[in-house]
């Protein structure tokens, strides 16, 4: 039976996890996204895409203004804000019932995003890049996603060496949680992400999804967000397939993640993956993975 969690959000709102798997839609507003080639750099186009996600059944919209693909260039906080704030403000005004997440590791960007209407901070660095981000979360009451990561996008694969993958990921995520809670973040505000594709070779990425229920990971007792969508680890089994053409492989990874206990899956093709998740949820429920409806 999957445990339920309630993630408090600003303004008295909350996010319920465990009754079904939630779908987080990726809305990259960068010119160098690996998956969509900067399709949504224009704020109007980005907002329209966000509204399409809502119509397709998305549960959370994750807006990102800096690519974290391998080798991606860092951008300043000022540039990141120019990219994300117009989109967050507009979406928050139009889809108030759908939580908005901001994909950032910078405290300054997180603060401005929360002020503009974001309710979740999604930090790919697990507070390694800017520990002050935790203070923003604590003061604002936002939800916090802590992802497992080592190094920076430019050199992360040099750190992809594990003697015991699940135990090491669990230990390092516990360290991130400890930093967050020392800064005043409530434990119940934290969601964990095993970091598929980040500082992990393809076999590591597949393994962390396959072992999401490992005792070392389960002992962290927090909900899981899994982001398998279109990433390069899929090429290990699909061949040299371009990112936009990896949705069938993504669908298999999403299904597996749901069956292994993910509470949220983070995806690009929202309309298609909502269908995938609903079918996977039905199977998971019949295996005793969800409470009775």
Both tokens of residue 278? 């609903």
d(CA 199, CA 275): 30
| Strand-pair category, 264-267 with 5-8 | unpaired
Q: Is the pLDDT of residue 2 over 80?
A: no
Domain residue extents for the chain: 5-286
Q: Please name the residues in contact with 267: beta carbons below 8 A apart, sequence gap of 6 or more.
A: 23, 24, 25, 26, 227, 229, 250, 254, 273
Superfamily of domain 5-286: Dihydropteroate synthase-like (3.20.20.20)
Residues 213-249: tens digit of each pLDDT: 999 999 999 999 999 999 999 999 999 999 999 999 9
Give residue-wise pLDDT tens across range 141-197. Answer: 999 999 999 999 889 999 999 999 999 999 999 999 999 999 999 999 999 999 999
**Contacts (Cβ under 8 Å, ≥6 apart) of 182:** 134
Cα separation of 172 and 1, whole Å? 26
pTM, 2 dp: 0.94
pLDDT category, 33, cuts 50, 70, 90? low
d(C-alpha 30, C-alpha 262), whole Å = 27
Query: 43-56 and 270-286 helices cross at what angle (nearest 10)?
Result: 30
Question: Residue 130 and residue 66: Cα distance in Å, rounded?
Answer: 15
**pLDDT at 212 (0 to 100):** 96
Give the per-residue pLDDT at 95: 92
User: Do residues 250 and 269 touch, judged by C-beta distance below 8 A?
Assistant: yes
Q: What kind and span of H or E run contains 78?
A: helix 77-94
Q: H or E element: which one contains 8?
A: strand 5-8
What is the structure's pLDDT at 41? Answer: 64
Q: Which residues are catalytic?
A: 231, 266
With bands split at pLDDT 50, 70 and 90, how would you rate the model's confidence at 42?
confident
Q: What is the mean pLDDT of the chain?
A: 93
């Amino acid at each position: 039976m999957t445990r339920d969690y309630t993630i408090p959000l600003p303004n008295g709102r909350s996010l319920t996890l465990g009754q079904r798997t939630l779908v987080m839609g990726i809305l990259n507003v960068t010119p160098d996204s690996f998956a969509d080639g900067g399709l949504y750099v224009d704020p109007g186009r980005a907002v329209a895409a966000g509204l399409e996600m809502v119509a397709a059944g998305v549960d959370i919209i994750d807006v990102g203004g800096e690519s974290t693909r391998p080798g991606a260039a860092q951008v300043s906080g000022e540039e990141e804000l120019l990219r994300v704030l117009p989109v967050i403000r507009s979406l928050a005004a139009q889809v108030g019932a759908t939580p908005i997440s901001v994909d950032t590791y910078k405290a300054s960007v997180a603060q401005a995003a929360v002020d503009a209407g974001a309710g979740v901070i999604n930090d790919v660095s697990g507070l390694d890049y800017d520990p002050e981000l935790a203070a923003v979360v604590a003061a604002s009451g936002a939800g916090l996603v802590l992802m497992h990561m080592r190094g920076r996008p430019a050199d992360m694969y040099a750190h992809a060496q594990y003697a015991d993958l699940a135990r090491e990921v669990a230990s390092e995520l516990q360290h991130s949680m400890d930093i967050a809670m020392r800064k005043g973040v409530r434990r119940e505000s934290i969601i964990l992400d095993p970091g598929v594709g980040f500082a992990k070779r393809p076999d590591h990425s597949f393994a962390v999804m396959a072992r999401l229920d490992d005792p070392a990971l389960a002992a962290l007792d927090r909900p899981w967000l899994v982001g398998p969508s279109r990433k390069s680890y899929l090429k290990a089994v699909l061949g040299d397939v371009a990112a936009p053409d990896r949705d069938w492989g993504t669908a298999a990874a999403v299904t597996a993640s749901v069956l292994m206990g993910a509470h949220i899956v983070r995806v690009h093709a929202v309309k298609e993956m909502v269908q995938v998740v609903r079918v996977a949820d039905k199977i998971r429920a019949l295996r005793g993975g969800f409470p009775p409806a």
